[in-house]
Structure 1
């Protein structure tokens, strides 16, 4: 079964992201706007207890923190993705590194860049057109992070919460 670890931002930020995702993100109906802390990975049921124990320890040792969203950016030419960027922040990087360790260590395909995807799988010319307009948008949003979620993927491709971990450090 496929699992992933994410942060869901507050509703106001999700609403802003969804106003773009409706048009530009084919995964809009599969998962709410989120910051991926650990990309989708396969795990069998036998390892699930070890993984949740690990995530509980990470949550127990992590203090809640604030993040700021500060601009719209793109991963082009690596990927045709447009996203709302999280301002450089050691707390979220540390959380990511702690989660992606021990029993949950996986080789990463890309460097960790915290963000909310608002458009993906776009044709080249459409990506440039949309990004050209959106990079002018003034983004100044803050979000308190006090939890993260272990998700699993359903047979229809959508994602649902398996367990929520409250930061208590």
Structure 2
């Protein structure tokens, strides 16, 4: 089965992002707004037990992560994805690095660029127009995240939460 690990921001921020994703992201219905902490990977039942045990240890030792969104940016010219830039910080980088270690170790397809996707799969012309429009928004936002999720992919391509892991000191609600 195919799995991934992500951080979901607050509902308030998700609603704001979804107001753009509905229009600009064809993957809008497949997964809520998120920060990918570990790219998709394959695992079977036996591997999953070891992976979950490892993730539990990582979560128990990791501090809650502060995210600061500072601007709209793009991965152009690599691909036409427009996103909210999440400033990288030591807690976020450490969490990412730990989730590429131990039983989760494998080559990373991209450098870690924490972000929340606003839109993707644009033509070059459309990308340029939408990016310039969205760059005019005041999108500064900060919040502290106290959990992350192990997700799995369904047959229709959508992602759903398999398990939630609370970071050390995270709330228990």
**What's 2:80 paired with?**
80
Deviation by residue 1:53-105 (Cα, 9 ceiling, x = unmatched): 11001001101131111100000001110000111311101110011111001
Distance 1:22 1:65 in 2: 27
Q: Does 1:55 align with 2:55?
A: yes
Structure 1: which 4+ aligned runs deviate by more than 3 Å? Answer: none
> Which residues in structure 2 correspond to 1:87-126 (within 5 Å)?
87-126=87-126
Q: Determine helix, strand or coil for the equivalent of 2:71.
A: strand
**What's 1:27 paired with?**
27
Distance 2:51 2:119 in 1: 30
The alpha carbon displacement at 1:9 in A equals 0.1
Distance 2:25 2:64 in 1: 29
TM-score normalized with structure 2 length: 0.95
Gaps of 5+ in 1: none
Gaps of 5+ in 2: none
Q: Determine helix, strand or coil for the equivalent of 2:137.
A: coil
Q: Determine helix, strand or coil for the equivalent of 1:12.
A: helix
